[in-house]
Amino acid sequence: MAFDLAATLTPGLAQRKQQQLYRTRKRVDSAQGVALQCDGRPLLSFCSNDYLGLANHPALVKAMHNGVERFGVGSGASHLICGHSHAHHALEEALAAFTQRPRALLFSSGYMANLGVVNALATRQQTIHTDRLNHASLIDAVRLSDATLRRYPHNDVEVLETRLNREDRSHPFIITDGLFSMDGDIAPLPQLVESANRHNALLMVDDAHGIGVLGKEGRGTIEHYGLDHGDVPILVGTLGKAFGTFGAFVAGSDELIETLIQKARTYIYTTALPPAIAHATLTSLELIKTEAWRREQLQTLVKQFRSGAQQLGLRLAPSTTPIQPLLIGDAGEAMRISQQLQQQGILISAIRPPTVPDNTARLRITFSANHSAQHIEQLLSALDSIIKHNAR
């Protein structure tokens, strides 16, 4: 008899359901934006990473059309065979200039960029120190490598420093998210840079959520702190969030990029992004550079939301960014509130373990430059009525 795969999987699925950890998908029938058509009904969305509201921007849609007309749809091969198009190259040069670094290299996703960089650089003799709340792709990147993984408590440079003081192995590697995806707080980069310099350690920042959003010119967490390439030699940015398209990049020295081209397996052994996406991303980059009002609008929305939420007595996280989680704790309770919000026409997904630590389930509220003051009012009034209702 054939192996009964279904029967072996059933108990695990049932257990997930029972623990309120079962994951399902909603079907979005409209283009991405703050107003979604979702499972057949309109919802006001506060959960995308399209922070600047570019995913369906007319200029990007037009650039994508033009890119498809010029370059076709598929890239046909990996970058090293014959898939590296003029559009990819132009975007790499533009991203290098934007991040004020000698070179940039495109990857097909942020997940793959992280796996590729860490595995191209890390050695068996190294310890990699990562923040406990770093993104899953960074954890997986280190697990896949020959290096030893050590996770320090969230943003705790003192603990990291103690460990680095005791370190007797060859140059340590420190990796942190720039802007933390599920908490909305910003890594203490100046202190991490000092620590890295004191211990001859290599510092890498994954700025998936910061790039385009933080800094006056949108150059992310590094600009936010007035730091530069000399302070943080390896920068990873993603294009599927604030840029509104898809893919990712690594920016740094010529030697770093050449090493990645030689050695990063997730770069070498995968098909290049569709060139039209790279072409459209050039337009995102122009909007990011020229339309600072999008970042200013986000700041205005954050202030409005936080002062309103404080008046309602909601449990806010210490975040000044467009990621504003409401801590709930219990996974089932977070699911319930998310469903109640949906009944009121508002889409906010509940984020549960293992994406976040046990007992820290939350509603991850995110803002887009396309949200208005009136949208925030709507959100606050829905949260107010649900929380009052649940308290009864």
Ligand X SMILES: *Cc1c(COP(=O)(O)O)cnc(C)c1O
Instruction: Enumerate the active-site residues.
Output: 181, 209, 241
Give yes or no for residue 137 binding ligand X (CB under 6 A).
yes
Please say which residue, 177 or 231, places its beta carbon nearer to ligand X.
177
Q: How many residues does the chain have?
A: 392
Q: Is the peptide bond before 354 cis (omega within 30 degrees of 0)?
A: yes
| Number of residues engaging ligand X in binding (CB under 6 A) | 14
Give yes or no for residue 281 binding ligand X (CB under 6 A).
no
Give yes or no for residue 209 binding ligand X (CB under 6 A).
yes
How many H helices and E strands in the chain?
14, 13
Give yes or no for residue 109 binding ligand X (CB under 6 A).
yes
Measured in degrees and rounded to the nearest 5, phi and psi for residue 248 equal -160, 170
Give yes or no for residue 240 binding ligand X (CB under 6 A).
yes
Binder among 51, 98, 111, 267 for ligand X (CB under 6 A):
111
Give yes or no for residue 238 binding ligand X (CB under 6 A).
yes
Cα dihedral: 15, 18, 22, 28 (round 10): 150
Please say which residue, 119 or 304, places its beta carbon nearer to ligand X.
119
Please say which residue, 50 or 177, places its beta carbon nearer to ligand X.
177
Q: How far is the CB of 279 from ligand X (least distance, A)?
A: 18
The residue whose two tokens read 């005791």 is: 166
d(CA 243, CA 52): 7
218 with 211: CB under 8 angstroms? yes
d(CA 301, CA 297): 6
Give yes or no for residue 188 binding ligand X (CB under 6 A).
no
Which of these segments, 39-47, 92-100, 108-116, 270-278, binds ligand X (CB under 6 A)? Answer: 108-116
Among candidate residues 277, 278, 271, 279, the one with its CA nearest the CA of residue 79: 271
| Tokens representing residue 180 in the block | 């933390």
Q: How far is the CB of 372 from ligand X (least distance, A)?
A: 26
Q: How far is the CB of 290 from ligand X (least distance, A)?
A: 24
Q: How far is the CB of 337 from ligand X (least distance, A)?
A: 23
Give yes or no for residue 208 binding ligand X (CB under 6 A).
yes
Give yes or no for residue 181 binding ligand X (CB under 6 A).
yes
Which of these segments, 67-75, 97-105, 204-212, 263-271, binds ligand X (CB under 6 A)? Answer: 204-212
204 with 117: CB under 8 angstroms? yes
Please say which residue, 135 or 294, places its beta carbon nearer to ligand X.
135
Beta pairing, strands 248-252 & 103-107: antiparallel
Please say which residue, 36 or 133, places its beta carbon nearer to ligand X.
133
Give yes or no for residue 284 binding ligand X (CB under 6 A).
no
Which of these segments, 86-94, 206-214, 273-281, 380-388, binds ligand X (CB under 6 A)? Answer: 206-214
Q: How far is the CB of 192 from ligand X (least distance, A)?
A: 16
Map the footprint of ligand X across residues 342-361, applying CB under 6 A: none
Give yes or no for residue 206 binding ligand X (CB under 6 A).
yes
Q: How far is the CB of 162 from ligand X (least distance, A)?
A: 26
Please say which residue, 157 or 205, places its beta carbon nearer to ligand X.
205
d(CA 343, CA 262): 52
The secondary element (H helix, E strand) that includes residue 351 is: strand 350-351
Q: How far is the CB of 108 from ligand X (least distance, A)?
A: 8
Give yes or no for residue 110 binding ligand X (CB under 6 A).
yes
**Nearest residue to the partner ligand X, using Cβ:** 110
Binder among 57, 135, 295, 375 for ligand X (CB under 6 A):
135
The full DSSP string for 119-185 is HHH--TT-EEEEETT--HHHHHHHHHSSSEEEEESTT-HHHHHHHHHH--SSS-EEEEESB-TTT--
Among candidate residues 276, 299, 257, the one with its CA nearest the CA of residue 120: 257
Among candidate residues 252, 178, 190, 257, the one with its CA nearest the CA of residue 218: 178
Please say which residue, 210 or 275, places its beta carbon nearer to ligand X.
210
Spell out the long-range contacts of 144-151 with Cβ–Cβ below 8 A and sequence spacing 24 or more: 144/115, 144/118, 144/119, 145/118, 145/119, 146/122, 147/118, 147/122, 147/123, 147/173
Give yes or no for residue 48 binding ligand X (CB under 6 A).
no
Question: Which parts of this chain interact with ligand X (CB under 6 A)?
Answer: 109-111, 114, 135, 137, 177, 181, 206, 208-209, 238, 240, 248
